[in-house]
Amino acid sequence: MRALLPLLWLSAATPALSQSTASPDSVAPPWYRVHHAALQTAGGAGLVAGGVGFAALRDRLETDILVGYVPEKYAGSALSIATLKVQYSPYTVPLSPKLQLRPLTVGAYASYTHGVINDGEPNQYYKGYYWFSTDTRVGILLGSRLSYLLPTTPQRTQPRRLAAYYELGTNDLYVVSYFTNLTGLSPLDLLTLGLGLKLDF
């Protein structure tokens, strides 16, 4: 019986030892911790937009919060745009030891625009003249992403990614406008194109 005691102690201590010596990078960070920074142009987010993002489900599900800006000369008035995006990438294709492709990314977004012309002039238009919201949009996204794995460091054994992406999107106003004016609009009029970069923290 005494000979078995050291073995029992060792078997009980092994999980604790493995946990204490595990690399911090081997444990997925919580979803509410900021995962990456994002920079985007166009795509309904503004001439230029920047923000941060969060990741879950082994980085397959991402939530981005962006704040964008459109100068007055491009919109008639200076616009500031807040955008919330949720995107899902079902799989990643390794192209080389340093390159990864996410060929399909699907998602949805909601945005709020401050500074829209004719947004609040009293009695300028009769009630119901604008059947749609002039400052809030919701839509869907479809895109792809190419990532470059940055070198690791002694403090971080998991590589960070620098990714370039594109997004094709549309929103509620575009869809309704298209189906109520089939002769005047083409399917291409439904789409917006956004280009951007993401960098893992």
Nearest CA-CA partner of 46 in 8, 83, 90, 94: 83
CATH fold of the domain at 30-200: Porin (2.40.160)
pLDDT of residue 125: 63
Domain spans in the chain, listed from the N-terminal domain onward: 30-200
Alpha-carbon distance 141 to 86, whole Å?
Answer: 9
pLDDT along the chain (201 residues), means of 10: 42 40 54 94 97 95 98 92 98 97 98 78 63 89 98 83 98 93 91 97 91
Nearest CA-CA partner of 55 in 19, 98, 85: 85
Alpha-carbon distance 121 to 5, whole Å?
Answer: 83
